[in-house]
Amino acid sequence: MAVFVITGASRSMGLQFVRELMRRTRGRIVACVLRPGSTPDLDGYLHSLSDDERARIMVHRLDVTDVEQIEELAMEVERTYGRVDGLFNVAGVLGDRINTPGPEMNLNQMDAKWARDQMMVNAVGPMMMISKFAKLLRARKGKDGYLRSTGCRESVVVNISARVASMDDNNSGGLAWYTYRMSKAALNAGVRACSHELKRQGTWTICLYPGMTDTAMSRPFQNKALRDKGLVFPVDFAVGRLMDVVDGMEEEHSGGFYDWAGQSIPF
Ligand SMILES: NC(=O)c1ccc[n+]([C@@H]2O[C@H](COP(=O)([O-])OP(=O)(O)OC[C@H]3O[C@@H](n4cnc5c(N)ncnc54)[C@H](OP(=O)(O)O)[C@@H]3O)[C@@H](O)[C@H]2O)c1
């Protein structure tokens, strides 16, 4: 019985990963939410399930910036399942420039507290998740084909990053978005660095870019021209394509940074 842990599962892409894994596997899913009791989208989905399907999902409180909560969750998952086959670091913050100082449009808008907070959610949190769950990812002893059609036996860590983190790709000077770029670049660096250690224990890890996807995060930055050109993806499309990339993952992809179509993105 495969076990998957997903952060940011209350809504948007995190919730869609719950749906996809329910559909593609027969595994158990640990759906982690920042604010238990305040997750209407997830609640609506849970209510739509049969009793047997509902029994496959455990909802757990998790603020990814709180290491004690991560440790508590890892202990609970160890007690209940003893292993993890897939860890999905989906939770993230960008800000909307109304309620948050970011994303910055110029250097004047840099705010140290916001930079720290964003770094904690987008980079330090996912890395702490990997650190505390590494033992359970190693414990996986399942048979082939639990998720991937390639028939691989490795466990996987999937990290949702962003193309704007790419330094090579940052030639236009379009959006500043300094702290978001910094935090996702830090995530990419951490994931590449730990991919070697994880590979030795039979765990592959990857950073993925979903494309601009129609969620609360991107809504303030969408416009008609982008939508008319089909450059704002529906959530089910984006997450479906990301799952296809995970499904086709081979050892050579571990430590890499790919978009929704499986195209490599330069760091
Ligand atoms: N949407 C895009 O176009 C796009 C593009 C590139 C990359 N991404 C990345 O894709 C991922 C998902 O984005 P999204 O568009 O689905 O975002 P979203 O609609 O803003 O949802 C963000 C999710 O993260 C959770 N979260 C925020 N802070 C948290 C914390 N400290 N601990 C635990 N959970 C926390 C939120 O919980 P609450 O519901 O409780 O607030 C929510 O579930 C993010 O990592 C984002 O950076 C998105």
Least confident of 12-16, 24-28, 125-129: 24-28
Both tokens of residue 69?
A: 């909560």
Task: Give which of 86, 85, 244, 106 is closest to 159, Cα–Cα.
Answer: 86
Which strand (E) or helix (H) includes residue 191?
helix 178-200
Helix (H, G, I), strand (E, B) or coil at 158: strand
Percentage of the chain lying above the pLDDT 70 cut? 96
Confidence band (pLDDT; 50, 70, 90) for 175? Answer: confident
CA of 97 to the centre of ligand 1 (A): 16
In eight-state DSSP terms, residue 44 is H
Q: What is the atom index within ligand 1 of the atom nearest the CA of 64?
A: 32
CA of 12 to the centre of ligand 1 (A): 7
CA of 91 to the centre of ligand 1 (A): 4
Query: How many angstroms separate the CA atoms of 192 and 210, rounded?
Result: 18
pLDDT for the residue numbered 125? 99
Helix (H, G, I), strand (E, B) or coil at 266: coil
pLDDT for the residue numbered 153? 80
200-222 average pLDDT score: 96
CA of 143 to the centre of ligand 1 (A): 32
164-189 average pLDDT score: 92
User: Is pLDDT above 60 for 145?
Assistant: no
Per-residue pLDDT reduced to its tens digit, 245-261: 999 999 999 999 999 99
CA of 2 to the centre of ligand 1 (A): 24
Task: Give which of 264, 266, 259 is closest to 231, Cα–Cα.
Answer: 259
* Ligand 1 in reach of 165 Cβ (< 6 A): no
Per-residue DSSP letters for 114-126? Answer: HHHHHHIIIIIHH
Amino acid at 13: M
Which residues are registered as beta bridge partners of 233?
A: 213
pLDDT for the residue numbered 141? 59
What residue segments make up the domains of the chain, in order of their start?
Answer: 3-259
Q: What is the atom index within ligand 1 of the atom nearest the CA of 122?
A: 45
User: Which homologous superfamily is 3-259 in?
Assistant: NAD(P)-binding Rossmann-like Domain (3.40.50.720)
Dihedral sign (CA 257, 260, 262, 266): negative
37-61 average pLDDT score: 98
Q: What is the atom index within ligand 1 of the atom nearest the CA of 91?
A: 24
